[in-house]
Structure 1
Amino acid sequence: MPQVHVFNAAGELVGPVNSPRVELSDAEWKSRLTPEQFRILRQQGTERAFCGTLLDNKQDGVYSCAGCDLPLFASDHKFNSRTGWPSFFQPIAPHNVTERVDNTHGMRRVEINCARCDGHLGHVFEDGPLPTGRRHCLNSESLTFTPADQLASLADPAAEGSDFEQLSSAETMIVAQAILAGGCFWCTEAAFEQLAGVTDVESGYIGGGADTANYKAVCTGTTGHAEAIRVSYDPTVISYEKLLDVFFDAHDPTELNRQGADIGTQYRSAIFLRDEHQRETAEKKIAELNASRRFPKRIVTTLEPLTAFYPAEEYHQDYARQNPGQPYIAGVSTPKVCKIREKHPDLIRKDVKAIDA
């Protein structure tokens, strides 16, 4: 049962709440949706560019799933991408929209879906504006629009009768991203998952093409890809500079194209830069560390332009937490996790501290 944010009878976004999945037969979906909505939401279709009814909508309000009415995107996060489809730099709440790899049409993309009914919405790309740098590219027919003065009409039964905290879009939607490579992504993922302000950590590949963005190919060391993590975080809780502090403590940035026994360019130390702020912060941090002689050798971490990030296979996600007894995890990953807890106790989530206690 997905946990999502919904509107209550007062027109306030609240949650998270447990909301049952909407699962219908094709016949039931066809009776609920228009033919075009069915083609897009249930058959992964795409409407023609510049033809969507919501592309040029500039009203304040909320865009919901045309299949199950789950709120998905807010007008505050809509921007003109000039691609021909409604575009948003982030969802209305992180867990209302899900992502999965889409290998259709001879390319590797990231599909986005409604978390409650699994309706196809479109795709997400890494070429959007700040603060996230992401572009959620939507089909108008997968959405319905509700003006800001009518949000009470979106009241969800799951929100009533319970004492949920009201969450404004500004409070729930501050999400930035950093993409970092520091050796095996099992280790770096585990180190960052325990940080306060980090909302999600995803393992993946970056630096090469879509056709080689898979574990077997990347392991050859010939694809240009690095094993990396995409860290989603709230910059009001943890800064990009603090993330870099953890990054440099979670691996050895003086080893060229290797981390311990893991050897190859796929294990290089690299920071993939989303904007000039990230570049300036990373350059300053590396200069400070080199000047302080904190490491016995000079840092070889490369600063690389942000290219497409390809999520790794599902079994790689959250690997250390799900496989604590695996020899590599016990011998390599867990010590790095413990090191970060010892060196940065002020950055660790309270629930992690409670477990340690």
Structure 2
Amino acid sequence: MAAYRRSQSGGRRILIVSYHRVVGDFTGELQRSIPGLLISEETFRGHLEEAAAADYEFASIGDAVDVMAGRRVAKKDLCVVTFDDGYRDVYRYAYPILKQMGIPAIVYLPTDFIGTNRRFNHDRLFHLVCQAKARRLSPYFNTLPRLTMELLRPVLTGQKTPSAALDDFIGEHSARELVEIIGTLERELGGELLPEQGDIMDWDEVRRMASDGFDFGAHTLGHTVLTLEPPNVVEREILESKLAIEREVPITVRDFAYCNGWYSDEIINVLKAHGFRSGVTTEDLPNRISGDPFTLKRKVLWENFSLGMLGDYSSALTGCQLDDCFGVLGMSHPVPGRRPHLSSAAMAANAVRIEQPLIQPILQGESP
């Protein structure tokens, strides 16, 4: 299967793996954090060892782009390790492992959060939705705004888990809408409720990693899904996040990660205009020699992707993931990242929708 995928990719496989939070206490974090963002340090190390055993050469994102463009010839298949969001867990647990093993990596930073006590909208919403569920709020509130109930109702009625509801919801709504919903839920639940977990690196930690040769890329200012934003916001989020990193760290930022993995031609054009060389998606597909460096494919991994039938770590299953066995067999179903850019009219309509209260359930034919 590896040989088939190598041939299909143009002679060399270029595997880009993506992580978010590498944690010391996976079981404890699982009780209070979005599961799909988590991997234990033991499993993370296992992934790196398995990739080495599968004869991948660990490479920087720049080297991978050069190989894809034909500027460099790789003697082995390449594996690029990436992290989104700049969680402090990466500094605490992943950085020492990578440094010890001599493996390069890149961290994509949403720069407005670096060096602050803020938490990402997705972590805040997950915490608030879990609080609403624990307090058994009614799924038939008729005083909360409609969008708030669109997020809450599937969870409160048991149709979806909080993480599944967030996955479906966040990619469809702008950062402004998410902030408004956070405010609504905090008022309903009794005040600002920041989760303890999910803290972000500071600039000293970023500089320390950079001094050891680790790369950093831009990930917008405010972890913003750019396909849902107007052109002036797209321009600002991309350019100012790049400049913020370059002010704090002695590097030139040339690589970008699309929030939620979503991108458009309009976003790619802005990246090119500001000197970027690559953009990474979350599409679980093979990268091809001579492929587009602004739609790089990544395999997003977390703890459960390596759990065997007995619930413990499986090196065989990890090897299957890294060798893309399930993709070759047609058993995986990648989610496309290319999206139409939301029109100005649709953005204006969303701005009106968020303020509307939920209509009485009985008028919608629902039984409270």
Q: TM-score range, shorter-chain basis?
A: under 0.3
Name whichever structure is richer in helix by fraction.
Answer: 2
| Greater RCO (Cα-Cα under 8 Å, separation 6 or more) | 2
Name whichever structure is richer in strand by fraction.
Answer: 1
TM-score (norm 1): 0.26
TM-score (norm 2): 0.25
